[in-house]
């Protein structure tokens, strides 16, 4: 058997880990929801009015429990997507591409005909004004 015909265990292990994490997040979300509801009901029993405090009540629910529901949904999505993504990765065969398509061409000779000597004369700098003035 070659490596492409073997089923991958990584996808199923990763999916199970995502599902376990999603269950833990759901448990946390429901415990937080119960605590939040209990907190709000106790405040209402003490005479705190609802009118004028709607934003505070919604904010308490959003900050305490809604995020756990969203993360749990994301983990369920990741658990379903992980085996599919890893299966796609395993199905594609490794393609070996050559480093170069054609062998390098042999150098026939230098195209540079004349060797350039550096100028010792500073005449080009005179036009720019860099020549030191003699006094």
**What 3-state class would DSSP assign to 42?**
helix
pLDDT of the residue at 2: 44
pLDDT of the residue at 1: 42
Locate 22 and state its tokens.
């999603």
Cβ neighbours for 39, distance < 8 A, ≥ 6 positions apart = 60
pLDDT of the residue at 48: 84
Locate 87 and state its tokens.
């299966």
pTM for the complete prediction?
0.56
Distances (CA, A) of 17 to 20, 36, 60, 68, 85: 5, 28, 30, 17, 16
What are the 10-residue block averages of pLDDT along the chain, 135 residues in total? 51 88 95 93 88 88 91 94 77 62 66 64 62 57
Distances (CA, A) of 102 to 34, 94, 99, 105, 106: 71, 22, 9, 8, 12
């Amino acid at each position: 058997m070659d490596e492409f015909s073997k089923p991958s265990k990584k996808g199923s292990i990763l999916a199970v880990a995502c599902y376990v994490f999603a269950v833990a997040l759901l448990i946390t979300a429901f415990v937080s929801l119960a605590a939040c509801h209990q907190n709000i009901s106790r405040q209402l029993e003490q005479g705190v009015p609802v009118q004028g405090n709607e934003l505070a009540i919604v904010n308490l629910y959003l900050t305490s429990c809604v995020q756990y529901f969203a993360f749990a949904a994301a983990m369920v999505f990741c658990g379903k997507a992980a085996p599919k993504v890893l299966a796609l990765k395993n199905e594609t065969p490794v393609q070996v591409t050559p480093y170069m398509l054609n062998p390098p061409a042999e150098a026939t000779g230098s195209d540079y005909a004349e060797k350039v000597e550096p100028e010792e004369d500073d005449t080009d700098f005179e036009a720019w004004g860099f020549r030191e003035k003699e006094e």
